[in-house]
Structure 1
Amino acid sequence: MELSSLDIRYQEFRRVLRGYAPEEVRDYLGRIADRVGALLEENEALRARVQELEETLEEMRRGEEELKRAVVAAERIAREVKLQAEREAELIRKEAEAAKEEILREAMEQVKRLQREFEALRRERDLFIEQFRGLLEGYLDSLEKVAPRSTRTG
């Protein structure tokens, strides 16, 4: 049976011949009622506080779960970003390698073209020297015929 402070304060007792002094009983019951009332109020306040704390705890648990999900998502995103960066780095490396190969191929082609041009110029030079030599020898022969060496000394 649950008692309130009012139940205690207004409790009625039968009167008997050798009973207690009613005023003392009333006074004592009043003090008990006050104390029980204070305890009931404190108990109610503590229940309310427990309820608040339980609600806060539940919110914190939900927050913790959300935080865990966020951490897992962040880790997943970090792995994906890292993988993407590695793929992009590999692609850039391959493009650089291909560009290097293209530059080397073009340089080799240019070297070969320059070597061909050099050889062509060398042949032209040799041909020019040969023709010039032939021309000079032709002039010398003509000079010999016109003025032989023995008459040229002098």
Structure 2
Amino acid sequence: MGYGLCAGIAASIERGGDARAIVIVGDGGFQMTLNELGAATQQGGTAIQHGCRLLLLVIDNGLLGRVEHGFKNAKGCEITGCDWVALARAYGADGTHVARDSEIEAALDAGLSAKGVFVLAARCDPALRAEMAKTSDGIMPPWLEPPGNHVESG
């Protein structure tokens, strides 16, 4: 939680050129790092400053969903957000809101054709929940696998 925007910025910078990074983040996670959009300089923050091509889909359910749905009897998970598109524009990015399914395709087209940072803010029912992934569900990439041979160094 709170990692998506920074990871997207790093991916955009690393890939460079016309490559676009796409990030899907909840409103709570986005609030943890939204300062990376701007405020670093007059020209903008990390994402704007480095000319990132970033499509940021903010799923706005007004809830810390990972906490609310992941822990029994969690308290204090309701959060207040803002107009995410207005925030993006204040930092020099662009964006659009999605309130209905019929708006999704046009919003994605706009985001994918944008030259810089684009925030697509989608309102979501807080009762909807995604299944939580567990680290045990993942497949370990070969470079993280423990080595097959043990070498004594002493």
TM-score by length of 2: 0.14
- Quick check: which one's helix share is greater? 1
Greater RCO, 1 or 2 (C-alpha within 8 Å, sep 6+): 2
TM-score by length of 1: 0.14
Q: Look at both structures and tell me which one has the larger radius of gyration over its CA atoms.
A: 1
- Quick check: which one's strand share is greater? 2
